[in-house]
Amino acid sequence: MHEIRFYRANEKPYGAFSNLLKRAIEFEGEVFATAEHAYQAGKARKPAVRKWLMEAPSPSLLAMAAHGLYVWDIAEDWSKIKFDRMKRVLMAKFTQHEDLKSLLLSTGTARLVESATVDNSVNRLWGEVNGVGQNKLGALLMEVRAEILAAEPKARRKADVKSRADAPERAAAPRSRRRAAADAVSV
């Protein structure tokens, strides 16, 4: 199976799969600077900690700060909800930006792998380090890709039906203009 590996947001073209890509998304009624911001906003138990995280000067520093939170600063159910939250954040990111959606869909059936270089438990959870890890981010991206692809034909069919319904009007318009032009010439 073909694999596409990504890690740094500035690597072309697949760095766009990184949550650190500086592309705003709307999520849960709020606009976030990056997917990482939207994801980590759900991690903090206390509003003051959430505010502190959101004010991080860069997405990478936000991620570092969030990974270093004390257990009492993390939402009680975080370990149960974090993967669902990440998937919803990814769905928002890739449905709100047509170019990112096109890039994701262009990967076809390739296995997507966040390929980190620093060996730690976070990198082995969300990606792989030297081929070892759970690659949760890659798996969620592949799920989002499949769901978007499954929804695409339905959207296309609706557009095709609307297009066919509008077709007689569009086809009639040129003939009307031609008739009007012919009438003007014969007058």
DSSP for 127-150 reads SEETTBS--HHHHHHHHHHHHHHH
Q: What is the residue-averaged pLDDT of the chain?
A: 87
Dist CA 5 CA 115 (whole Å): 6
pLDDT in tens, 110-166: 999 999 999 999 999 999 999 999 999 999 999 999 999 999 876 565 555 555 555
Helices (H), 97-135: 98-105, 121-126
Mean pLDDT within 77-88 = 97
Q: State pTM to two decimals.
A: 0.81
Task: Provide φ and ψ at 173, rounded to 5°.
Answer: -60, -50
In the predicted structure, residue 181 carries a pLDDT above the cut 50: no
Query: In the prediction, which pLDDT does 172 show?
Result: 45
At residue 60 the predicted structure's pLDDT band, cuts being 50, 70 and 90, is: very high
In the predicted structure, residue 177 carries a pLDDT above the cut 50: no
Cα torsion for 10, 15, 19, 25, to the nearest 10°? 80
